[in-house]
Amino acid sequence: MKTVVSRDTIYVGHVVKPLQFFKALQDGIDGDGYSLRSGQLRVNKSHIVRSMLFTITEDGFANDLLYKSPLYPILNKASVKDCQASDFVVEHPVRISGLLSRNNIGKFLTLKDLKLIRKNIFSAGYLIKNSERFGMLQVLAPSGVEDEPDFDIEVKGFTREVFPPVKYYYAAGATFIRTDDADIPQQYWKVLSDHITDVPGMLKTDCFTPSNYDEGKIAKRLKLK
């Protein structure tokens, strides 16, 4: 019998190496663009080590679904003591059940299903192909331009005039503008763009693979437990 995991318990987040911890003084958005509540723990990280697909233990630790990793404490879910005692913490945990259900992923997943999700959904190709479902329209815009006062952009083979202000969003090696028509909640757009495994024009990488340099040798998980 295959071991399975419930779709509703699956999260994605970043394994980070913190320099120091401090508490937010007010509600707002952190430096990575994620919402933050007053009193929540924040981390000044030395760098992001990798991405992780995981479930959450009762004590607020991340149980890696793809690799046999240590149980890293999750920021603002595990205790402050556990977070401060660990060399690594998991930051910005986002439950992705809504994203998976909108892609016709069943309620229970095997390890094979999780590997396909990592390969297919967390990819630049998926983000570009399905951008309009997120309310993001791919355009051709000048490289590096954040807000251009007035110029023509090419959209799907035809040109139209765009008036100010125009905000551009960059993901998967492409440029997008936001629209009001979204089939998939737009917060998932950022989640996916933060965990893309293959960006065109860059070295092929898998952001979910453990870092031998930071974490040491971690064995591949053969089955879910």
Q: Assign 151 a pLDDT band (cuts: 50, 70, 90).
A: very low
pLDDT given for residue 8 in this prediction: 94
Q: Is the pLDDT of residue 94 over 60?
A: yes
pLDDT given for residue 213 in this prediction: 87
The string over 79-95, giving b where at least 16 C-beta atoms fall within 10 Å of a residue's C-beta and e elsewhere, is: eeebbeebebbbbbbbb
pLDDT in tens, 105-122: 999 999 899 999 998 999
pLDDT given for residue 179 in this prediction: 87
pLDDT given for residue 172 in this prediction: 84
Better-scored residue on pLDDT, 198 or 96: 96
Q: Assign 27 a pLDDT band (cuts: 50, 70, 90).
A: confident
Q: 90 CB contacts (<8 Å, ≥6 apart)?
A: 13, 14, 15, 16, 52, 54, 62, 72, 73, 74, 75
Q: Assign 31 a pLDDT band (cuts: 50, 70, 90).
A: low
Residues 73 and 86 sit within 8 Å (Cβ to Cβ): yes
Ranges of H-type helices in 61-181: 80-85, 97-101, 111-120, 124-129
